[in-house]
Amino acid sequence: MCKYPRLRWVTLFLLRASRSVIVGIGIEVTFEVIAAAALLRKYAPALRVRVVNVTDLMILAAGGTHPHALSDDGFETLFTLDRAVHMNFHGYPIELKGLLFGRPHLERVTMEGYREEGTTTSPLDVSTFPFSFIDNEQP
């Protein structure tokens, strides 16, 4: 028996009424998702957004591929079947695509995550740094 049945009813109503789902996967991005939801509530109060925090990546895998994976019904309850879903991940988005492979209606899912933009040093530069520094000294 639910201790607060009225609150549970309101929560279920809001879950059904949400127009989109924003997902935080990782500590920092979850804080960003919560802040984004607060801004949406302030500046677009008519827009209903569901916020989901994923702490176990393996729940995203297709049912039966991992012991923690959500069933199709559980995945549908959390992420809906017909709403836009935007996932924010602390890692590479391609990893999410691999985990979500086999889930229905993925065309409505967008993903953001770490995008490597190159670096000022290469692994070769890092491994030869002490030697190149010594060789470049002028007498």
Q: Which of 53, 73, 54, 70 is nearest to 62 (CA)?
A: 70
pLDDT of residue 11 exceeding 50? no
Residue scoring higher pLDDT (106 or 6)? 106
What pLDDT sits at residue 115?
78
Question: Can you give the residue range of the structural domain that contains 34?
Answer: 5-135
Q: Which of 36, 21, 20, 26 is nearest to 89 (CA)?
A: 26
Query: Could you tell me if 29 and 91 are in contact, meaning their C-beta atoms sit under 8 angstroms apart?
Result: no
pLDDT bracket for residue 86 (50, 70, 90): very high
At 17-67, the pLDDT tens digits run: 568 899 999 888 889 999 999 998 899 888 888 899 999 889 899 888 888
For position 80, which CATH number holds? 3.40.50.920
What pLDDT sits at residue 128?
57
Number of domains in the chain: 1
Cβ-count burial of 61 within 10 angstroms (0-12 exposed, 13-18 middle, 19+ buried)?
Answer: buried
d(CA 103, CA 84): 14
d(CA 19, CA 71): 22
